[in-house]
Copies of this chain bind each other. A is one copy, B any other.
Amino acid sequence: MTERIHTLAIIGVGLIGGSLSLALKKHNAVGRVIGVGRSQANLDEALRLGVIDAVATIEDAAEADIIFVATPVAQMPRVFAELAAHLGEHSIISDGGSTKQDVTRAARLALGDKFSQFIPAHPIAGTEKTGAAAAFATLFEKRKTIICAEAETSPDATERVTQMWHTAGAEIHRMSAAEHDDVFAAVSHLPHLLAFALVDMLAGMPRSADYFNYAASGFRDFTRIAAGSPEMWRDISVANRVALRQQLTAYRARLDDFDRWLSNAVTEDVAAIEQAYTRAATARRAWQRHVEHGEPMPRFSTGGQVE
């Protein structure tokens, strides 16, 4: 049975933190939500919209039943340090950061023997919009939330955070922080870097005006994620740089292959390009059916293409 949360503290009342509050309020699963943030205007807006019930200090927040840290990941070490001094004995801290190894490391360092009260989590949801005004109660419905418990992590606290996300409508998945960071480097952080890199490159070229004038729907979709927050993605890229560089290194090696194939363009090279494009198109179409209709993904042989 789900236990009601008496007080939820949100540190960073933006799209993610605010939407969690609204989702729990909608299901009557929380008594009182208090908010901590750096922008008074945003906190005022959050109050006005009923996203939070009161503005609080970090000391107040540290005594809440659940303290949800939804700041950019680069600010979390300082937030954890401030919470540590005042953390209630039964208070649980969780977070919504897009990277998990660095956040867990920071929490371990800051919280010391209270580290068992920290539940590393990552709700896979978001829009291009930011701030409390962008929050909505159904953001997490049918989306995944990843929980990355460590050896010391309290099972009871993990269960409470699991229930909280379940109430908000999310599917709960569990994996290690290292697995998490590898997966999201591959399917999120690298694509963002690649899209930012392309648009930045084109913007810096002498013919950029022509390029942007003739860019069409393929470009639109490919680069949509390059409109995201530069600060947020800078932080994520740097925080997860070890896993991100592993994926980037593999990708650069593939681009070296493509350049060689295009340079020679003999029959075998053209066949290698077709083989790579075919495996990609097969996988991408299967993924679409997987997402839309729940069809299982086919297995692909691992490794590179014909050389």
Which of A12-20, A82-90, A153-161, A249-257 is found at the contact surface with chain B? A249-257
Q: Is the CB of A241 within 8 A of B224?
A: no
Q: Is the CB of B231 within 8 A of A274?
A: yes
Q: How many residues of A contact B (CB 8 A)?
A: 99
A219–chain B nearest beta-carbon distance, Å: 5
Which of A51-59, A63-71, A109-117, A285-293 is found at the contact surface with chain B? A285-293
Contact of A227 among B190, B208, B228, B281 (CB under 8 A): B281
Contact of A252 among B227, B255, B265, B283 (CB under 8 A): B255
A182 interface residue per 8 A CB criterion: yes
Q: Is the CB of B303 within 8 A of A204?
A: yes
Given the known interface contacts A219-B187, A221-B225, the answer about A281 and B245 at a Cβ–Cβ threshold of 8 Å is no
A195 interface residue per 8 A CB criterion: yes
Task: Enumerate chain B residues within 8 angstroms of A182, measured Cβ to Cβ.
Answer: 207
Inter-chain CA distance A209–B183, complex, in Å, is 10
Q: Is the CB of A262 within 8 A of B280?
A: no
**CB nearest neighbor in B for A188:** B218
Q: Is the CB of B274 within 8 A of A234?
A: yes
Inter-chain CA distance A252–B231, complex, in Å, is 23
Q: Is the CB of A226 within 8 A of B284?
A: yes
**CB nearest neighbor in B for A227:** B284
Task: Enumerate chain B residues within 8 angstroms of A228, measured Cβ to Cβ.
Answer: 281
Which of A38-46, A130-138, A294-302 is found at the contact surface with chain B? A294-302
Contact of A216 among B188, B249, B259, B297 (CB under 8 A): B188
Inter-chain CA distance A230–B51, complex, in Å, is 48
A198 interface residue per 8 A CB criterion: yes
**CB nearest neighbor in B for A271:** B234
Inter-chain CA distance A279–B233, complex, in Å, is 13
Inter-chain CA distance A230–B283, complex, in Å, is 12
Interface centre among A187, A190, A250, A279 (most CB of B within 10 A): A187
Given the known interface contacts A200-B279, A262-B237, A281-B196, the answer about A302 and B255 at a Cβ–Cβ threshold of 8 Å is no
Task: Enumerate chain B residues within 8 angstroms of A238, measured Cβ to Cβ.
Answer: 262, 265, 270, 273
Q: Is the CB of B244 within 8 A of A248?
A: no
A127–chain B nearest beta-carbon distance, Å: 9
**Chain A residues near B (Cβ < 8 Å):** 124-125, 143-144, 146, 173, 179, 182-184, 186-188, 190-216, 218-231, 233-234, 237-238, 241, 244-245, 248-252, 254-256, 258-259, 262-263, 265, 270, 273-274, 276-285, 287-288, 290-291, 297, 299-305
List the 10 closest pairs (A to B, CB-CB), nearest first.
A230-B277, A199-B280, A200-B280, A203-B283, A187-B215, A196-B280, A230-B278, A203-B300, A191-B222, A234-B274
